[in-house]
A and B are shown apart, each in its own frame.
Chain A
Amino acid sequence: MSNSWLNRFLGRNAQTPRACAKERLLGVVIEDRSAIPSSVLELVRKEIVEVVKKYLIIDDQAVDVKLEKDEDGTYALVSHVVSRGVRKNEGIPAA
């Protein structure tokens, strides 16, 4: 998943080349092993964006979706969403 805005947000450019390589490798290797293609993850990501957008103010690039391996060897779909606040709409309960 290329997600340059989020990468910058998370400070990847501040990482060392070694740490960056390791993080990227762990990402692709887990994708290769799970046999869930990144194109599918991208579709999931886009739909999460649509759902979250209904309720929260977010940037399109502020949703990150990735696979992580759990202790028991199963794959977990992990999403990280950066929000700038609640959308003021009908149907959304006020705080």
Chain B
Amino acid sequence: MSDDVRVIVITSGKGGVGKTTTTANVGMALAAHGEKVALMDADIGLRNLDLALGLENRIVYDVIDVVEGRARLKQALIRDKRMQNLAMLPAAQTRDKSAVTSTQMKQVVDDLKAEGFTFILIDCPAGIEQGFKNATAGATEAIVVTNPEMASVRDADRIIGLLEAEGLKDPMLIVNRIRVKMVKSQDMLSVEDVQEVLGNSVKLLGVVPDDNSIITSTNRGEPVALLKESISGQAYRNVAQRLLGQQVPFLDLDERNGLFDRFKKLFTSK
């Protein structure tokens, strides 16, 4: 039964590309589909997933408390009040990555499986050291998040190699913070460019536009996936649907042209 549980690590290599935001939003969107979702913050010492979800005031125990036997898993899991079938397991803030081993992290994942979750998403820390190894230990699938920007694509390529070495083949790719106008003016890498660099083994799972509403919603502790009218929220909801095996076309982000662009088009089109 527990073999049906999807355990997905969300990783990137480089920091600041949107792993935590992706974890929070894809988790919310999956939960909205009725999936029982556990989100695990594997960034020991740099806890952030709680902020993305707006759950920072409800933390009593963390993953290290569970590993070291001070709390049971059920006590440490925080149920989301907006989305009853979503729970978060916080990272410890006062310890560091050496506080746990891969074996212990894998045990936590196994215990989460036994709790009846259908999806376990693991928010991986940046880097390729112990934290990465811990976060990938219990996973059977991987999502690589990248920005259309050189350093993050290069790091994504490294991470894909390391994931394969850990037995996580054919990772899924989310290109985050794309700016269609810049791509069209030949100033930014396109999604296709990123795919070409990363190669055929990577399957495109989602394209998320650069969107101010991510900042405002994160500031409020409300993942954009909960906001019906948000385009990035829609992009994350589409990712969730694709994870559930549904065929969803990629968003036409070009439609997001502002009034000025539409005017310009009027005058420049023949």
Contacts and interface: CB of A to CB of B under 8 A. Distances in A.
Given A29-B154, A33-B161, A22 B197 contact: yes
A32 B187 CA distance: 25
A24 B158 CA distance: 16
A25 B189 CA distance: 10
Interface in A1-46: 16-19, 21-22, 24-26, 28-29, 32-33
Interface residues of A, number: 13
B186 interface: yes
A29 B157 contact: yes
Interface string B148-184: 0010011001100100000000000000000000010
B189 A22 contact: yes
A18 B197 contact: no
A79 to B, nearest CB: 23
Nearest to B154: A28
* Chain B interface residue number, banded: 10 to 19
Interface string A75-89: 000000000000000
A25 B197 contact: yes
A75 to B, nearest CB: 14
Nearest to B156: A29
Contact of A18 (B153, B154, B190, B198): B190
Contacts of B183: 18
Contacts of B129: none
Contacts of B154: 25, 28-29, 32
Contact of B150 (A19, A25, A32, A33): A25
Contacts of B161: 32-33
Contact of B197 (A16, A17, A19, A26): A26
Given A22-B197, A25-B150, A33 B188 contact: no
